[in-house]
Amino acid sequence: MDLGGHLRGRLRRRVHARPGHLHRRVRGHLRGALGQQPPPRPGHAGVRQRRRVRRPLARRPAGRPRALHLAPRPRVHRHLEGRRHARLRDRDLDLDMLQPAAAEGGETEEVRADRSCLRTSSCMRTPPRPGKKQGETISKGHRNYELMLNLQLGIRHAVGRQSAPNTLDLKSSAFDPKEKIWTRFPPEGSKHTPPHQSCDFRWKDYCPLVFRTLRKLFDVDPADYMISICGDEALRELSSPGKSGSFFYLTNDDKYMIKTMKKAEVKVLLRMLPAYYKHVRFFENTLITKFFGLHCVNVKLTGAIQKKVRFVIMGNLFCSSYAIHRRFDLKGSSHGRMTDKPIDQISEHTTLKDLDLNFIFRLPGTWFEEFCRQVDKDCELLEAERIMDYSLLVGIHFKDRCKDSSNGDNGTSQNAEDSEENRKGPLRLGICMPSRVENVVKNPESESPLIGEPTGEFQDVILFFGIIDILQDYDISKKLEHAYKSMQYDPNSISAVDPKQYCKRFRDFIFKAFADDVQ
């Protein structure tokens, strides 16, 4: 008797049978935690005996990976994959049934895992909002379709294989720029990657432990994160790239924005990552952009020619059920800081600039004080890291706009009273803040021509604001730009200035554009 072959056969049958075994064990734990009796087994208590037919298990050739569709169901954690079919089959286990176990302190690891997966399969699939969304859907035939597939495959692989961090305290080695993971994705699949229909590419994860911990710090659920980026819905490419030449992509639920980056920007982010992590951990109300991941897709074209696309995943400041009626990008400089569109072509998607500003933003007293403190702290970090050319992005929702007005990139337009944010927990700085704006008229002879003179006319609004574009340091190109433009224009009016001067000018302008709402 071939003992080795016999043992290998038993081991293979056990591996194939393990998911069903886990299904029965998980259901037993769940029913025990909920105080439920197991259902009657066939042949007991008068139940008609059923004959079970055992079918032979199909054996998969060694080394051949399981087939995986390009847009599969989002994976949760690896230890949950084998239980998916049992959960979908057991409709009697829903979220409401899992609540008493947690209240009585009897919640087990399996209960938490199954609640997470049930929440992933039902609650987190938010129905699409009506209305036209901003950007062009990346469908098959789009020039960046394969790039999107590569990105989704990489995210699904990276996040799905990672376990949740046990602590928020990280060692200095985790922030090392050399701390990165390369993974090759051949079309036929490999031992660790699924087969796919895209081209052969390599995937790089920068400082994976740091960004995994940042996602935990920002209360981002891994399953929710994967569904938003790697779900059935495609990404949307914004119509025009930024001034830097970067492209921006939005997830279908508008939660995350993906930006392509230059190599210099990647170096800046990795350099400032330790200070950034410490800052966002200490200041819960920070206005600085939230970063969730830094990655690179490397595609081999012909011969030795390769194409590298680096990108960062950020939070979308305007992810809300409120329609954004006006948006401003404010720096505190005046040269070239006016939109080039005529008034009749300005829409909800148009980003206005400093010279277009015709409001003063009035925040309630306590929030205005917190706003000033936080802007000071955030600017101190950026100045210490030699960052300049950042701006405050402000979105305005006017409460008095009619419900059927045209919508921005949020897919719906509604009054504040009907919005879900108005019924949620504590208010956070810069997110969905009930405020007022006061109309102003520009006076060229005023001491601050960027702001204008108040008129006493107020409007009730909902404000969204945050500091963006924080990856530009004062490098040689910016120094040359400053020297060249200073010979033609007022040195104080241009954007490219020393970080210390930029920080002071930015704060002075923001503290004039925002004021205490004294009624």
405 and 482 in a single domain? The answer is: yes
Task: Please report where in the chains the tokens 């009035």 appear, as a residue.
Answer: 362
Q: What is the rounded distance in angstroms from the CA atom of residue 218 to the CA atom of residue 347?
A: 32
> Has residue 217 been placed in a domain?
yes
Per residue of the chain (519 residues), give pLDDT as tens: 554 455 445 444 444 444 444 445 544 544 454 455 555 554 444 444 445 545 554 454 555 444 444 444 444 444 444 444 444 344 333 333 333 333 333 433 333 334 443 333 333 333 344 456 777 888 888 888 888 889 999 998 888 877 777 888 899 999 999 999 988 888 888 888 888 888 888 999 999 999 999 999 999 999 999 999 988 777 888 866 556 678 899 998 899 999 999 999 999 999 999 999 999 999 999 999 999 999 999 987 766 777 899 999 999 999 888 999 999 999 988 888 888 888 878 888 888 998 888 899 999 888 999 999 999 999 999 999 999 999 999 999 998 874 545 444 444 444 444 444 444 456 789 899 999 999 988 776 665 667 778 888 889 999 999 999 999 998 888 889 888 988 888 888 888 899 999 999 999 999 999 998 876
Query: Residue 119, SS3?
Result: helix
Q: 243 by DSSP, 3-state: which?
A: coil
Task: Tell me, yes or no, whether 441 lies in a domain.
Answer: yes
Q: Is residue 274 part of a domain?
A: yes
DSSP string for 288-338: BPPEEEEEEEEEE-STT-EEEEEEEEEE-TT-SSS---EEEEE-S--TT-S
The domain tally of the chain equals 2
Amino acid 99: pLDDT: 37
Instruction: Give residues with Cβ within 8 angstroms of 331, minimum separation 6.
Output: 337, 353, 354, 389, 390, 391, 392, 495, 506, 509
Residues 208 and 279 in one domain: yes
Which tokens in the block code for residue 459?
Answer: 């409007």
Residue 271: give its domain's CATH number.
3.30.800.10
Q: Would you tell me how many other CB atoms lie within 10 Å of the CB of residue 223?
A: 21
Classify 156 in phi/psi space as left (phi over 0), alpha (psi -120 to 50) or beta: alpha
* Domain at 342, CATH number: 3.30.810.10
Q: Is residue 104 part of a domain?
A: no
380 and 498, same domain (yes or no): yes
* Shared-domain flag, residues 401 and 366: yes
Within a domain: 1: no
Which two structure tokens, joined as six digits, stand for 423?
């019924």
Alpha carbon distance 326, 328 (integer Å): 7
Query: Based on the domain organization, do 190 and 339 belong to the same domain?
Result: no
Give the tokens for residue 84.
């998916």
Residues 263 and 163 in one domain: yes
Residue 495 lies in a domain: yes
Residue 380 lies in a domain: yes
Task: Kindly report the backbone phi and psi dihedral angles of residue 379, in degrees, each rounded to the nearest multiple of 5, phi listed first.
Answer: -70, -35
**Cβ neighbours around 502 below 10 Å, total:** 24
- Report which residue type is found at 381: L
Assess whether 352 and 283 both reside in one domain: no
The answer to whether the pTM exceeds 0.75 is no
Q: Where does a domain end: 266, 286, 315?
A: 315
Of 220, 209, 225, the residue nearest 155 (C-alpha): 225
Q: For residues 481 and 24, give the distance between their C-alpha atoms in angstroms, rounded to a whole number.
A: 68
Residues 402 and 486 both lie in one domain: yes
**Which strand (E) or helix (H) includes residue 466?**
strand 453-468
Report which of 365, 372, 390, 382 is spatially closest to residue 510, judged by C-alpha positions.
372
- Are 485 and 345 part of one and the same domain? yes
Asked if residue 308 and residue 343 are part of one domain, the reply reads no
285 and 384 co-located in one domain = no
Domain boundary among 315, 335, 359: 315
- The domain in which residue 330 lies consists of 326-516
Q: Which of 315, 346, 373 is the last residue of a domain?
A: 315
300 and 355 share a domain? no
pLDDT at 127: 38
Q: Is residue 281 part of a domain?
A: yes
Which pLDDT does position 447 carry in this prediction?
A: 59
Query: Tokens at residue 430, please?
Result: 């810069």
